[in-house]
């Protein structure tokens, strides 16, 4: 395992636990570059559904459904994912934690933080797609419905082959020119070989989470680190939450914690060392 820079402020202690939520098609090992800034009391949760876990027999047929039927199935699927993560946090005794979420994991963090039972201390968003723009939401639902339709009418294998071919064209948009090397290859492979049905069901449902409503209602501190080029709509975040503390890292893309690990650790360590807003 690679050695990451040690930037652990004296104020970081196990009195302030952290829950890390990776992004869509990610995994828990994405927390490793941040370990230097995190307390020992850390919960990194894998939340992407397993391959084959969604039963295509329950998918409404394209020629025999209302316009909203497929969208509602995706919404229910993602609600189950969210509830499983919520239950895992409670079962692990991580109430009162700081939620650190990357990408769609940040959207999940916002929704979970609105749950009073979790008593979230603060939310840290790593180039998260929050707030969720309505046009992005609608386009993602439409695209993901098409993928599940393809798997249901042709086969998972046919849909997976098409997914791999198409993902090769949009995955590079997640990176800056400086984001190169084995880490990038690992991320790209995860997108390409993510199980198409479960990946599509999760994205199509996750964009329907009440992300914006939850974000607007939060009473805890909100810290944001955006890449450039970024997925986070920074201007929209500033408009919705003028109190959010936002920084932008130049010369790195969507994976700020992977390609700018040292700078991200310094930033995150400072947040965790400070007392949250009362």
Q: Sign of torsion, CA 158 161 162 163?
A: positive
Q: Report whether pLDDT(14) > 70.
A: no
pLDDT tens digits along 223-252: 999 998 788 999 999 999 999 999 999 889
State the pLDDT at residue 2. Answer: 36
Rounded to an integer, what distance in angstroms lies between the CA atom of residue 223 and that of residue 31?
Answer: 17
Higher local confidence (pLDDT), 7 or 63:
63
pLDDT in tens, 152-173: 999 999 999 999 999 988 888 8
44: which strand partners? 20
pLDDT digits (tens, 9 = 90+) for 77-126: 999 999 999 999 999 999 999 999 999 999 999 999 999 999 999 999 99
Residue 278 has pLDDT above 80, yes or no: no
- Residues paired with 222 in a beta bridge: 123
pLDDT of residue 177: 83
Tokens standing for 92? Answer: 């692990």
40-76, pLDDT tens digit by residue?
A: 999 999 999 999 999 999 999 998 899 899 999 999 9
Residue with tokens 């009473």: 219
pLDDT at 65: 92
H or E element in which residue 100 lies: strand 98-102
Pairing of strands 18-21, 98-102: parallel
CATH number listed for the domain at residues 18-273: 3.40.50.1820
pLDDT tens for each residue of 22-45: 999 999 999 999 999 999 999 999
Residue-wise DSSP of 187-225: HHHHHHTS-HHHHHHHHHHHTTS-HHHHHHH--SEEEEE
pLDDT one-digit tens code per residue, 188-217: 999 999 999 999 999 999 999 999 999 999
Q: How would you label 85-120 residue by residue, b for 16+ Cβ within 10 Å and e otherwise?
A: bbeebeeeebeebbbbbbbbbbbbbbbbbbeeebeb
Which residues are CB-neighbours of 213 under 8 A, at least 6 positions away? 114
> So where are the chain's domains?
18-273
Of 14 and 16, which is predicted with more confidence?
16
Residue 15: band (very low, low, confident or very high) from pLDDT cuts 50, 70, 90: low
Give the N- to C-terminal CA distance of the chain in Å, as an integer. Answer: 38
């Amino acid at each position: 395992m690679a050695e990451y820079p040690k930037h652990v402020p004296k104020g970081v202690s196990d009195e302030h636990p952290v829950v890390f939520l990776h992004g869509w098609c990610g995994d828990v090992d994405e927390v490793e570059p941040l370990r230097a800034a995190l307390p020992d009391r850390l919960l990194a949760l894998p939340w992407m559904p397993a391959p084959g876990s969604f039963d295509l027999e329950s998918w409404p047929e394209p020629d025999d459904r209302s316009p909203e039927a497929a969208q509602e199935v995706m919404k229910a699927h993602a609600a189950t994912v969210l509830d499983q993560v919520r239950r895992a946090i409670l079962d692990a005794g991580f109430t009162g934690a700081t939620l650190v979420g990357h990408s769609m994991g940040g959207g999940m963090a916002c929704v979970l933080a609105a749950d009073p039972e979790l008593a979230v201390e603060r939310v840290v968003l790593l180039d998260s797609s929050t707030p969720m723009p309505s046009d992005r939401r609608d386009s993602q639902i439409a695209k993901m419905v098409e993928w599940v339709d393809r798997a249901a009418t042709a086969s998972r294998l046919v849909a997976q082959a098409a997914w791999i071919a198409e993902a090769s064209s949009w995955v590079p948009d997640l990176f800056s020119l400086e984001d190169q090397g084995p880490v990038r290859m690992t991320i790209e492979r995860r997108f390409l070989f993510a199980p198409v049905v479960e990946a599509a069901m999760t994205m199509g449902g996750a964009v329907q989470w009440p992300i914006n409503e939850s974000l607007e209602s939060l009473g805890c501190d909100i810290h944001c680190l955006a890449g450039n080029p970024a997925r986070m709509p920074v201007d929209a975040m500033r408009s919705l939450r003028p109190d959010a503390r936002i920084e932008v890292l130049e010369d790195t893309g969507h994976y700020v914690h992977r390609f700018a690990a040292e700078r991200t650790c310094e930033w995150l360590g400072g947040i965790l060392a400070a007392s949250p807003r009362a």
